[in-house]
C-alpha cells in the first residue's frame, strides 16, 4: 500500500511496505525530483517512520530523472538566497544522516540523472544499483556554489581526491560505467531492469542478518580513517556482539544443522 505525504506541504515522497522492505520513492518526477524543503522534510520523515517490521529500505524515484539537485528556480526567486540555501542544506543534511545511520541496510536504485545533493544522498546509501544510461554530475560549479549534502565526502571516498577535484572543479559528468568503475555505485543494470533488480536486491538483503550488516557497514566506513590496530579492536568487539545476537546464534545453528538460516525469525 502506498502512502503519500500529508499536510499542506506539496507532495514530494511516497512510501510503501513491500513485505519486509520499506519502499521510499521520490515523487516529484515531472520536475526531476529537485531538492527543496518539502522533499527534505518528507524524506527525513519517511526514514523516521519506517515500520519496525521492515528489514531494509529501497530508495527509488519516479520520473525520468532520479534527482537533479537543488531547486534552482526557488534559488533564483528567493529574496534571501543565503538564508534559503543554509536552511535547505541543514534540512538535507538531516536526510543524509538519517540514511547513513538507518538501523537497517539501505539500497538505492538510480536512473536518468543524478546531480548535486542527489550525489551526496547516494553516498549515504549502502548499496547503489544504477541504470546504465545514468549520468552523474556535481553541478555546483555551474551555480558558483561549493558542495553540500555530503557530496564532497562521497566523491572523495569513491574517486580519490585528485579525480574528485577534477570532476568538481570542471563541473564534469560521470557516466554510469565510470561511476561503477570508481566504486561510486555498486551494480550496473540495463535501464529496463532497474526497478526489478533493485527490488530483488532489497528483498535479498532483508532476508539476511540485518543487524550484522549494519555492524559491517560501520566497520567499512570507519576503516579509511583508522589504523589497523584500531580496526582490529573494533572487529573483535563487534563480532562478539554479533555472536551474542539472536541472528548470530541462528546462523551458527543453521550452519551446524546444514539448513538455510532463518534470520527473519531470529528474536530481537
pLDDT at 94 over 60: yes
**What per-residue confidence (pLDDT) applies to 2?**
52
Q: Using the predicted structure, report yes or no on whether residue 3 has a pLDDT greater than 50.
A: yes
Residue 267 has pLDDT above 70, yes or no: no
Is residue 265 pLDDT above 90, yes or no? no
Residue 127: closest CA among 189, 43, 72, 65: 189
Read off the pLDDT band of 1 (50, 70, 90): very low
Contacts of 155 (CB under 8 A, 6+ apart): 119, 123, 138, 147, 164, 167, 168, 184
Q: Which three cell numbers stand for residue 70?
A: 537543488
Q: Looking at the predicted structure, is the pLDDT value of residue 117 above 50?
A: yes
Q: What is the pTM of this model?
A: 0.93
Amino acid at each position: 500500500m502506498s502512502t503519500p505525504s500529508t499536510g499542506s506541504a506539496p507532495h514530494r515522497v511516497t512510501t510503501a511496505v513491500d513485505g519486509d522492505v520499506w519502499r521510499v520513492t521520490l515523487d516529484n518526477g515531472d520536475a526531476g525530483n529537485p531538492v527543496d524543503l518539502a522533499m527534505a522534510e518528507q524524506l527525513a520523515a519517511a526514514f523516521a517512520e519506517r515500520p519496525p517490521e521492515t528489514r531494509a529500505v529501497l530508495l527509488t524515484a519516479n520520473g525520468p530523472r532520479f534527482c537533479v539537485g537543488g531547486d534552482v528556480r526557488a534559488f533564483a526567486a528567493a529574496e534571501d538566497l543565503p538564508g534559503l540555501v543554509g536552511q535547505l542544506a541543514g534540512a538535507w543534511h538531516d536526510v543524509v544522516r538519517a540514511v547513513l545511520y538507518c538501523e537497517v541496510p539501505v539500497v538505492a536504485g538510480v536512473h536518468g540523472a543524478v546531480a548535486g545533493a542527489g550525489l551526496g544522498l547516494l553516498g549515504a546509501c549502502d548499496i547503489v544499483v544504477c541504470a546504465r544510461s545514468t549520468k552523474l554530475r556535481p553541478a555546483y560549479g555551474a551555480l558558483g556554489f561549493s558542495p553540500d549534502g555530503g557530496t564532497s565526502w562521497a566523491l572523495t571516498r569513491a574517486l580519490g581526491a585528485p579525480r574528485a577535484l577534477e570532476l568538481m572543479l570542471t563541473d564534469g559528468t560521470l557516466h554510469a560505467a565510470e561511476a561503477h568503475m570508481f566504486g561510486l555505485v555498486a551494480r550496473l543494470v540495463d535501464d529496463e531492469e532497474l526497478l526489478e533488480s533493485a527490488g530483488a536486491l532489497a528483498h535479498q538483503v532483508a532476508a539476511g542478518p540485518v543487524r550484522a550488516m549494519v555492524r559491517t557497514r560501520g566497520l567499512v566506513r570507519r576503516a579509511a580513517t583508522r589504523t589497523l590496530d584500531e580496526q582490529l579492536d573494533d572487529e573483535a568487539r563487534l563480532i562478539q556482539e554479533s555472536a551474542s545476537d539472536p541472528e548470530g546464534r541462528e546462523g551458527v545453528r543453521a550452519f551446524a544443522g546444514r539448513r538455510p538460516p532463518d534470520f527473519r525469525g531470529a528474536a530481537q
